[in-house]
A and B are shown apart, each in its own frame.
Chain A
Amino acid sequence: MSIVTWDDEELFAALQRAIRARDAVPAEFVDAGKSAFAWHNIDAELAQLTYDSTRDADMAGATRAEAASIRALTFNSANITIELEVTRDGLVGQIVPAQVATITVQSRVGANASVAADEIGCFSIRPIPASPFRLQCTTGSGIEALTGWITL
């Protein structure tokens, strides 16, 4: 079968499916993809979310209810891990392996604020940034890592 041999009804049905497949995708999902291009000239590795206590607590049920009161997130890039905990009035985190780094909080509108991570990789950010935000980590050894957008 090839498209040139499809009769009108087959072609019309295929076109209908194609249009509906596009219309089924929310505009915000497409827009988020378009705005990702802003990072094309940033030389950073992507640090991906590999653990989220909220999701874990959902799965584990009541036994994890207490632990879920503090949200913990883990991001992994090729070279570093960023551990993050959400406290009542801010974020505390650690870079693993431990090292001095600059942590920059980026908001969707482009406003940035930086904090320093000490020699054991610990840092704190106060207050809790407005969601969504992402963290860019620049280590003393020159590693650049960027998390995905974080919504708390």
Chain B
Amino acid sequence: MRDDPSVIALVARVCDGDQEAWNELIERYAPLVWSICLRYQLGRQDIDDVGQSVWLLLVEHVRELREPAALPGWLATTTRNECLRVLRAARRLDVEGLPPEDQMPPDSVATMIEQEIIEAELNAALRLAFSELPPGCHDLLSMLLSDPPPGYAEVSAALGMPIGSIGPTRARCLERLRRSPHLAALGIQPGAVAVRETGR
């Protein structure tokens, strides 16, 4: 994950003043910033405050990042610091008011941050891989991913696909997704990401 070539390329384009690359970067990492803010139980106004600080700090410091691939870690740490700043601005020196994470041993905070980074990188790679699937696969999986999940009869009617071919096509599309170079670039360590029950 530390040498994800797509992140390195994006950061290089951002440093050249490329707004499109910046937009991609924001789309990729906004969920990371957002989810860390939720960990600190911030309200919407405070999350917006943290967000704008994090993005402006990134604008200010992006050229100074020695390793562009360390960007997710920088973003996560900066977001955490900004969350604590907002909480302190609200509660000043009220240490009791700080969230549980801040009272945990530093190791726990580091673990939380590391989990958020791994999850965000996995999610970003999955979304990127998904966006590059052929249109047929993208449409089918999009429909199957909708909430609540549609029945195969509904999918068949919407996509003009025989019911019997939905299952095999879904399997082929997932195999294409699995082979995406974006996922191969992740280099997820064994056991690093636990697949949770989703209640499907």
Contacts and interface: CB of A to CB of B under 8 A. Distances in A.
A61 to B, nearest CB: 12
Interface in A31-80: 32-34, 36-37, 39-41, 45-46, 48-52, 55-56, 58-59
A36 B126 contact: no
A111 interface: no
B90 A18 contact: no
Interface stretch (B3-11, B56-64, B156-164): B56-64
Contacts of B60: 39, 45-46
A109 interface: no
B52 A30 contact: no
B110 to A, nearest CB: 21
A58 B31 CA distance: 29
Contacts, number: 149
A22 B26 contact: no
Interface residues of A, number: 47
A33 B198 contact: no
A4 B184 CA distance: 8
B104 interface: no
Contact of A59 (B48, B90, B174): B90
A55 B59 CA distance: 27
Contact of A148 (B56, B170, B174): B56
Contacts of B59: 36-37, 39-40
23 contacts: A1-B190, A4-B183, A12-B141, A13-B198, A14-B126, A15-B130, A16-B200, A18-B130, A21-B31, A21-B120, A25-B30, A29-B47, A30-B27, A33-B51, A36-B52, A37-B23, A41-B17, A49-B49, A49-B89, A59-B91, A148-B49, A148-B52, A148-B53
Interface of B: 14, 17, 19, 22-23, 26-27, 30-31, 33-35, 45, 47-49, 51-53, 55-60, 62, 85-86, 88-92, 94, 97, 119-120, 122-124, 126-127, 130, 141, 144-145, 147, 170-171, 174, 177-179, 183-184, 186, 188, 190-193, 195-196, 198, 200
Given A25-B31, A37-B23, 4 more contacts: A4-B178, A11-B177, A18-B130, A56-B92
Interface of A: 1-4, 6, 8, 10-22, 24-25, 28-30, 32-34, 36-37, 39-41, 45-46, 48-52, 55-56, 58-59, 146, 148-149, 151
